[in-house]
Structure 1
Amino acid sequence: MLQKPAWLRPHGTPWKAGDEQLVYESGWIRVTDQTATAPTGNPARYGLVRFKNVAVAVLPVHEDGTVVLVGQHRFPHGDYSWELPEGGAPLDEDPLAGARRELAEETGLAAAEWRQILKTQLSNSVTDEWMIGYLALGLSDVPVAHPADDTEAITLVRVPFREALDLAMAGYLPDMLTVAMLLRGYHMASEGSLPGAVARAMLR
């Protein structure tokens, strides 16, 4: 396992939080306006989005090296997005349980093997959101269909892993969870961290 180098230690003085005022709250987020003291010692105001869920993403890889992508319209950017299966797990839920649920709901698949392969911060200058990513192997259809989210109209496509990775690198799959997970999957396949047959199928 890669050892953490000494230079990764924190430097300087951390931010110091002051008074907090709630601006907006929904079932998904809390938006606050806070006073703070910056690492420089200067006073600051900070708008912060606090998430009530952990983002979970799944890289579902079939034995032939193909992956499943989910297509749906996304409201914030007003566009159509092709992504890996992803969603949210409440903070008091095991993120793996959330990942299993999202895979079943969005693709109708279950996995025999799960590995946590990534943990990243998303937009960490304005939010406290974390993403946890899982590799799903040994895929099969779920025996009982899971009800889909009533706001999602989903299309599925199954494509070779390398095609999905190349499309992401070309900017056609701009969702950051998808980009990060595909790159992580490529790194693992290249470095020998995956079963040999699966890695070879992904890389060809």
Structure 2
Amino acid sequence: MAAGADDRDAHLREATLSSREAYRGPFLQVRHDVARLPDGSEASREYIVHPGAVMIVPLLDDGRLVVERQWRYPHHRAFVEFPAGKLDPGEDVFACAVRELAEETGYRAREWARAGVLHNAISYSDEGIEIWFARGLSPGERRLDAGEFLDVQITTLAELEAAAARGELTDAKTLIGMLWLTHSLAGRWPLRWRDTPRALAGA
């Protein structure tokens, strides 16, 4: 059933009364809405409209993982993350995952599996991040976007878990990727793998 279509939530539903664009930049849009609440009262709702994104959990043949270290300006610090990137207008989600892995890390994957989607900021953004796994990796040349700077690193799940336990790894999407990987390795959340289409193999 589609999100928001469940009759069990009728007593929680908020109805949009008005909606206007408060800000538009090259990347994000901010909207200001007025909503009718379940008790009949009204409230303002401000939220970010996001084009959507992908995150890739890249698995090397020896079980190690490919991650990135990238500066995130809002926090004024570098974060360890799985490779990720936003969807271009009209871009297929799978094609975006293949493109982002190659552009940011240089790796191309022989096989892919879609895990699911995460909503990382449900109170103030409609962003959804598609989670993909990639294996059968072959190294290649990176093609970073202009103004994009990041380090590619090789690590293990145990090392990432230790960093998370120390409070050093705090990126939400990476933590979810680790959770999905842990359950997948234990056989609880199986993945369905498929080959990289020939049309995307050279991305």
Q: TM-score scaled to structure 1, two decimals?
A: 0.84
Report the identity percentage.
28
Tell whether 2:165 aligns with 1:166: no
Q: CA deviation at 1:147?
A: 2.4
Q: Distance in 1 between matches of 2:59 and 2:75?
A: 28
Of residues 57, 76, 81, the one that matches 2:74 is 76
Q: CA deviation at 1:194?
A: 6.2
CA deviations over 1:116-153 (Å, ceiling 9, x no partner): 112111211111110100010100024xx352111221
Matched residue count = 186
In structure 1, the residue matched to 2:130 is 132
Q: Distance in 1 between matches of 2:144 and 2:47?
A: 31
Q: Distance in 1 between matches of 2:177 and 2:152?
A: 18
157-166 or 59-68, larger mean C-alpha shift:
157-166
Question: Any conservation in 1 of the 2:118–2:173 contact (CA below 8 Å)?
Answer: no
In structure 1, the residue matched to 2:195 is none
In structure 2, the residue matched to 1:176 is 172
The amino acid that maps onto 1:160 is: T
For the residue of structure 1 that corresponds to 2:90, the secondary structure is: coil
The amino acid that maps onto 1:126 is: Y
For the residue of structure 1 that corresponds to 2:79, the secondary structure is: strand
In structure 1, the residue matched to 2:27 is 28
Q: Distance in 2 between matches of 1:8 and 1:131?
A: 26
Q: TM-score scaled to structure 2, two decimals?
A: 0.84
Residue ranges of structure 1 left out of the alignment (5+ in a row): 1-6, 196-204
Write out aligned runs for 1:99-178 (5 A).
99-142=97-140, 145-178=141-174
CA deviations over 1:167-200 (Å, ceiling 9, x no partner): 22432111111000011001110126369xxxxx
CA deviations over 1:147-169 (Å, ceiling 9, x no partner): 21112211111012221233224
In structure 1, the residue matched to 2:182 is 186
Write out aligned runs for 1:50-69 (5 A).
50-51=49-50, 53-69=51-67
Structure 1 pair 33/165, CA: closer, same or farther in 2 (3 Å)?
A: same
Q: Distance in 2 between matches of 1:95 and 1:27?
A: 20
Q: Distance in 2 between matches of 1:41 and 1:91?
A: 37
In structure 2, the residue matched to 1:3 is none
CA deviations over 1:90-135 (Å, ceiling 9, x no partner): 3521111111111111110010111011211121111111010001
The amino acid that maps onto 1:181 is: G
Question: Any conservation in 1 of the 2:113–2:191 contact (CA below 8 Å)?
Answer: no
